[in-house]
Amino acid sequence: MALGQMCMTARCAEDASRALDFVICSYGRDDAGDALRRLNQMRELWDRTPDAFASVKAVMRTLDDMAPEYPQRAPDAWGAVFDRAVEASSEASVALYCLGRTDPLHAATVEILRWMQSRELLTPRACVLDGAAAAGASWRPLPSMSEPPLG
């Protein structure tokens, strides 16, 4: 999510990349704490997702037509905004934190599903829609599921 926030607030991809490098470099070499490990994971994800900045900004631009009076807009106006967001990036339109990738959506769905199962919130015949499938990715089995999810 932090990487998505960086993309949202940075003026350009290079600014986001430099900011991430600056924060990573601000830690000493001997500081191998959890924060540095997570920052390095962010850097790896950034490097594996060269279109992250463009995907996030493209989805954010879909709100440009709605500005200043968007809270008063009718539901059909929001539907049009969402349709434009899907055209920009079906994955990022579901959740900007996925940076235009389906694997974070699938991972989030699995994490939520496991949490729900641990609290016995699902019946044995429950069907769950994978967030990545909602974004147009091919269906992948979720834990304890043998049938494709309903959507």
> How confident is the model over 85-141, as pLDDT tens digits?
778 777 666 666 667 777 777 777 778 888 888 888 877 777 766 555 555 544 455
Give the count of alpha carbons within 13 A of 93, CB side only. Answer: 21
> How confident is the model over 114-129, as pLDDT tens digits?
888 888 887 777 776 6
The better pLDDT of the pair 20, 92 is held by 20
Residue 104, amino acid:
P
Residue boundaries of the structural domains of the chain: 2-98, 102-151
Contact 72, 105 (CB under 8 A): no
User: Is residue 4 pLDDT above 90, yes or no?
Assistant: no
Length of the chain: 151
Q: How many CB atoms lie within 10 A of CB 80?
A: 15
Measured CA to CA, the distance from residue 110 to residue 47 in angstroms comes to: 24
How would DSSP label each residue in 63-119?
TGGGTTTGGG--HHHHHHHHHHHHHH-HHHHH-GGGTT-SHHHHHHHHHHHHHHHHT
Q: Which of 61, 49, 133, 40 is nearest to 98 (CA)?
A: 49
**Look-up: residue for tokens 């279109």?**
51
Q: What's the rounded mean pLDDT across residues 16-41?
A: 85
Query: Which band of pLDDT confidence, cut at 50, 70 and 90, is reported for residue 1?
Result: confident
| Predicted pLDDT of residue 151 | 40
> How confident is the model over 31-74, as pLDDT tens digits?
668 888 888 988 998 999 888 898 888 888 887 766 555 566 66
